[in-house]
Structure 1
Amino acid sequence: MLREYSSATVLSTAANYIIERPEAFTHTYRTYVRLREQGKLELRFWFSNEVDSTWDRGEVAKGGQPGGDWLIEAAFAADGGTRRDGSVNPDSRVPVTFGGGTSRLVRPGETFWSDPVELTLPDGHDLAFTWTIAAGSGRSVPYNVEQMLVTAFDAPGKHAEDAGAEAFTLSEKKLVMPAWIGYRKSVKRRMVFFGDSITQGVRTAVDGYEYWVARIADGLGPDYGVWNLGSGWARAYDAATDTAWLHKARQGDQVLIALGVNDIDIGERTAEQLLGDLTRIVSILKSNNPAVDIVMFTVPPFNFSGERERVWRRVNEALRTAPPEGVDRVFDIAAVLAQPAPQEHCLRPEFMSPGNDPHPNGLAGKAVAEAFLAWYKG
């Protein structure tokens, strides 16, 4: 990443799915994002045409899979206001350009930057990012298919220039965004939070920014850059293949790794396999930058039972007592979220999401952030 820019939002835009259609299409996407700061900003957008992590069992999307050929027909940054109703301030729209052009053909596996964009956002107002994408049949654009954590709209056809909401409908499980939103900002430390849906913040309130990465960023303030690379269904063995997702994590001065739930669950990894993957991730990061600071999180409780519970216990015991070589510190997130022994493999009831879902809720995000900030600053 360009060192004079820092991550402008705590929203994760990691890609865990890919658009696949039997026919050509043209579609417009508009997303409202709270930035770390408002006022007069110089923004840049970075794009990656590759799936970051595996969704479910990988029938459709796997980590490291390249996207297809597609075209950015037009893109705009604008003042999204506070209503998030599908409209933008018409006088605030600024074209996002690429080498001076308003369109950009994207090739499989490609990464690229936008030109700088100057935009002024009043206090409390969201950035609205709108773009029209066109693609042929087959696989094309990587995106995030998890529960929406911000308000977004989409519309068939070319509507990037529309200020009004008439053409748009509310998006569901369809976050189609650049891989990174940055703003010109000098920071004390570039922190990358590298994890799964629990890091991403899934099941917390839409537009609430209640998840622990967001709360930690608020507690540290904007002088600390925070890039959230949480991705739903992600697992350590996705990262251990050293493709696009881990390449993103390499940009941090400090990488905070919170993986393991999906490896134990859908991945059915043994403790030895999971610890081996975590060790490889740390080794790759340290080889890339020996000075990078690595913080390993214990695996959060996820109401496992049977063999999965036994693996969870063995992995966390190892992380607490003998973490992978190269890990500088370990934060025990499991201890914050868990019920008292002997039920420490289960999430505390007040931290459960609706429907007995063990994804930590906003209250859990508050508890984790408070514990982490006290530990981190101490």
Structure 2
Amino acid sequence: EYEISSAYVCDGGTGPDDEITSRTEVTFDGAGSKKVAPAETFWSDPVTLNIPEDHYLVWEWTVTGKDIPCNKMSNLTSTTSSKNGSDFTYCDDVPLPLLIGAKRDVKYRVTAIGDSITQGCMTDFMAYEFWAARIAKELGSDYAFWNCGLGWARASDCAQKGNWLGRALNSDIMIVAFGTNDIVSGEYGGDGGNNADEVNGYISDILEQSQAAGCRTILFNAPPQDYDEEHEAVRTALNDTEKQTAEKYGAEYFDFAAQLSPTDDPSAALYGGHPNGEGGEAVCEAFMKQFAELLGK
């Protein structure tokens, strides 16, 4: 459990060095503070705030407690924290809201769920050039896009059928992109990576849930990682089954790997293990071309 002492949304200007303006208090059931129980799911009250085009939204809050839930890979954005309330330094163990949403009518709600490659880690700071961000921008304001990518995550985590998958299943269209961490590390607390059949089993569990929820799903295969021979054999075997797995559960299939490797060497990570902005652009372009009709574009 932890306590929110205060929370604000603000206009961050055009960069992290600009003055923060338009500080607007965020309340919870009318109160400026809130005690949060373990595993509690909650929303703030609605807030009205005008952010000019090309300006950043700043989220600021004060939270206290032990073992506060946090995102361990938050260096996509300018994120700082302070213990004394005055001296702020960069920190990548920062508790962040799961969603800051705009209340508007949209054509489709789209969610991407996956690992750090989906989250966008190791792309240029504050650039929002990774594939999920590029697709969100390409879709535009007539669509809602929720990036639920999480660093270190595996299909076995998502297949627990808990709150994380539950968020994604609230969307109209869900993108599922796992494989890398399953192959390398396997289940949480396990003793090594999963084989192709095990990973496919977890992905099948996820697709079965999406099918039952009536959520249209697009399955990505596992991207290249410049693996050693043993791990590459697992990735190849997994990707050989993914299209059939998608068809079995009524999902669409996207050859993610083909966009990120040279045609003469499918095992090579052309844009890096965490694809850079150029890789994100290649994925976005191929994705939008293949799924324009599904997305109503």
Q: TM-score, normalised by structure 2?
A: 0.92
Relative contact order (C-alpha < 8 Å, sep 6+): which is higher? 1
Q: Which runs of structure 2 are paired with 1:234-253 in the superposition (5 Å)? A: 234-253=153-172
Is 2:112 the partner of 1:152? Answer: no
Q: CA deviation at 1:310?
A: 1.1
Distance 1:243 1:94 in 2: 33
Change (3 A) 1:322 1:242: closer
Which residue number corresponds to residue 125 of structure 2?
206
Which of 359, 362, 371 matches 2:277?
A: 362
Is 2:195 the partner of 1:276? Answer: no
Structure 2: tracts of 5 or more residues without a match:
187-192
Secondary structure, aligned partner of 1:373: helix
Distance 1:169 1:365 in 2: 32
Q: CA deviation at 1:106?
A: 0.4
Which residue number corresponds to residue 97 of structure 2?
178
Which of 59, 64, 70 matches 1:143?
A: 70
- 1:111-166, Cα deviation, whole Å (9 max, x unpaired): 1110111111122211111100111xx42x11111150111221123x4xxxxxxx
Which of 179, 183, 186 matches 1:260?
A: 179
Which residue number corresponds to residue 375 of structure 1?
290
Query: Which amino acid is the alignment partner of residue 330 of structure 1?
Result: Y
Which residue number corresponds to residue 59 of structure 1?
none
Q: CA deviation at 1:86?
A: 7.4
Which of 97, 100, 122 matches 2:30?
A: 100
Which residue number corresponds to residue 191 of structure 1?
110
Structure 1: tracts of 5 or more residues without a match:
1-68, 160-166, 353-357
Query: Which amino acid is the alignment partner of residue 256 of structure 1?
Result: I
Q: Which runs of structure 2 are paired with 1:124-135 in the superposition (5 Å)? A: 124-135=54-65
Q: CA deviation at 1:168?
A: 4.1
Distance 1:147 1:364 in 2: 20
Query: Which amino acid is the alignment partner of residue 203 of structure 2?
Result: L
Which residue number corresponds to residue 4 of structure 1?
none
Is 2:120 the partner of 1:120? Answer: no
Q: CA deviation at 1:328?
A: 2.2
Q: CA deviation at 1:324?
A: 5.9
Query: Which amino acid is the alignment partner of residue 82 of structure 1?
Result: T
Give aligned-pair identity as a percent: 36
Which of 307, 316, 320 matches 2:243?
A: 320
Secondary structure, aligned partner of 1:120: coil
Query: Are the counterparts in 2 of residues 282 and 324 from structure 1 also a CA contact under 8 Å?
Result: no
Runs of 4+ in 1 over 6 A off after TM superposition: none
Query: Are the counterparts in 2 of residues 294 and 326 from structure 1 also a CA contact under 8 Å?
Result: no
Distance 2:267 2:243 in 1: 15
Is 2:4 the partner of 1:82? Answer: no
Secondary structure, aligned partner of 2:209: helix
Report the structure, 1 or 2, having the larger strand content. Answer: 1
Query: Which amino acid is the alignment partner of residue 280 of structure 1?
Result: D
- 1:258-303, Cα deviation, whole Å (9 max, x unpaired): 001100011110111100000001112222x2x3101100111111
Query: Are the counterparts in 2 of residues 312 and 345 from structure 1 also a CA contact under 8 Å?
Result: no
Q: CA deviation at 1:169?
A: 2.6
Distance 2:181 2:267 in 1: 15
Q: CA deviation at 1:329?
A: 0.9
Q: CA deviation at 1:170?
A: 3.5
Which residue number corresponds to residue 252 of structure 2?
329
Secondary structure, aligned partner of 2:126: coil
Q: CA deviation at 1:321?
A: 4.0
Aligned pair count?
A: 287
Q: Which runs of structure 2 are paired with 1:282-301 in the superposition (5 Å)? A: 282-287=207-212, 289=213, 291-301=214-224
Secondary structure, aligned partner of 1:175: coil
Q: CA deviation at 1:373?
A: 1.0
Query: Which amino acid is the alignment partner of residue 229 of structure 1?
Result: C
Distance 1:284 1:321 in 2: 17
Secondary structure, aligned partner of 1:310: helix
Report the structure, 1 or 2, having the larger helix content. Answer: 2
